[in-house]
Chains A and B, each alone.
Chain A
Amino acid sequence: MTKPGFVHAYVPVGVSEAGMSHPVHRLETLSGKRIGFLGNGKPNTDVLLETLAAELKKQFPIEAFHFRKQIPSLAAPDELIAEICDRCDAVVLAVGD
């Protein structure tokens, strides 16, 4: 299909699966909630999350649980994600670098 004065070409980017976002489930309150903190294992990520958890605990009656990936460049294993889901009401991820 040609049109005078125009060039027709294919677009090289394929089709993204990205669509409408999933809704985010929020907590009604932080009071009494179990909050997980998962670092990616890069240096000082643990410091970041421990400091954050301590500050949050000063302001809210939360219970903190800390988790860590073994290798920063690999996704968290399913077992770890399942454990977090089982033990926590919400999770804060930290990606340090």
Chain B
Amino acid sequence: MVTAMFADLAGSLLKERHEASLPVVQVAHPVGGVSVTEARTRITDAVVRGVASSLTGEGASSSPGTPARDGSAPEEAGRILIEGGEADALEEFHQRGWTDGLPVVLPTEDRVKAALRSVSGNPLDTVGCLLPRNATATLLDVAINAVMAGCRPEFLPVIVAAVEATQEADFNLYGVQTTTHNCGILVIIHGPISRTIGMNSGHNCLGNGNRANATIGRAVRLVLQNVGGATPGELDKATLGSPAKFTYCFAENEEKTPWLPFRTALGFRAEESCVTVVAAEAPHNINDHGSSTAASLLNTIAQTMATVGNNNLYVGGDTYLILGPEHARTIADGGFSREGVQQVLYERARVALARISPEKLAELSSWGGYQNRLEEWKEGIPLVRTPGDIRVIVAGGSGKHSAWCPTFGATRSVTRRIHER
């Protein structure tokens, strides 16, 4: 039983998960945000009859099942012949919903083969099974989408590792791909490869102007959209979406990090390159040109993060603080380790109960025993559930700015080693 606005999502998911003949009964949208009295009116006589007949099969059609969308072998099904020139082919790609709305590079055989030469393994090796479409992404599929995004061949190992990272259960790819939340996939590159492929970890690293930053993030999005099935408005049900869903990628600024680099703090070796995927909102800027001490600056950061309406506060998960190098230096000079920063922000980035509506608090009471901890949290609800859930990384250039990236909440970031050929 689903609200009418989500009936297409339910139908598509059941089809992709081999359950297309399970009946779906619609009720009027919305169910949330209305009074209990109004919610009860959603159960009409027709809904009751529909559920009863669905349980017994009375009146159900005998569906023979649904054919696979692309069920034949990749060598056969994986190519398209388009009449005309490259411009006509690109128009065809737009028409078929295979782009993000911006022009793409046509994935010709020569271009895709060149990309594949940068990774080890057979082109048909599986990188992952991508939800919600439950589709296999091979090295070939990832390479095709990387070419479309405009990647150079040497970017491919990074994208493969990023797609692999989304397979971790805690990442919750299914939820991330289909949620009404606006999260994009933040891709962070750590270690030597970020320099080898010319990534930007300095000025404007979260913005425009660098090919690797721009196209690696875009490629991951295209893989998840085209292979994973997160087609906007269909299986991707984001209410608003975000510019971060086009591309969202930067490299860690290790040279300006006053602590251990992010990956070595997690236990990876310094010579290893890694990628982290985060289901995150677009960055929220934290401007503080005035504070000259760590305590003052951390207070500004904590108060910026202590907001109502973000999923971390409601659900938990981990959340990302990107410190600009000058802010990081001020904090480190004040004697704070990364763990010290996490602890202070955990204690100070709190939301007073009075800032949350009674209805929202009541809703939260059913989410993981949230309300049972209100006594513990009477001085304020913490942004996340443990200090370590506040991930701290350094990036950017000169200036007194940092950024906070709230996440989907029902997700945890994943860091994976990048295997270079």
Contact = CB atoms under 8 A, between A and B. Distances in A.
Top 3 A-B pairs, shortest CB-CB distance = A26-B57, A73-B410, A20-B65
A59 B52 contact: yes
Given A73-B409, A97-B6, A97-B180, A14 B70 contact: yes
Which of A1, A30, A35 is the most central at the interface, judged by chain B CB atoms within 10 Å of its CB? A30
B227 A70 contact: no
B79 A10 contact: yes
Contact of A47 (B6, B17, B39): B39
Contacts of B137: 14
Interface in A1-24: 1, 3, 5-24
A5 B80 CA distance: 14
A81 interface: no
Interface residues of A, number: 56
Contacts, number: 243
B6 A7 contact: no
Interface of B: 1-3, 5-6, 10, 14-23, 27, 29-34, 36, 39-40, 42-43, 47-48, 51-52, 55-57, 60, 63-71, 74, 77-86, 88-89, 93, 98, 106-109, 112, 129-130, 133-138, 140-141, 144-145, 148, 172, 174-175, 179-181, 222, 226-227, 229, 315, 359, 363, 366-369, 408-410
Given A20-B65, A24-B21, A52-B43, A8 B79 contact: yes
Given A52-B47, A73-B408, A97-B6, 7 more contacts: A7-B89, A7-B106, A14-B137, A16-B229, A18-B15, A18-B66, A56-B51
Contact of B226 (A12, A28, A52, A71): A12
A68 interface: yes
Given A8-B81, A16-B71, A97-B31, A28 B98 contact: no
A47 B108 contact: no
A70 B366 CA distance: 6
Contact of B3 (A23, A74, A96): A96
A64 to B, nearest CB: 12
A95 interface: yes
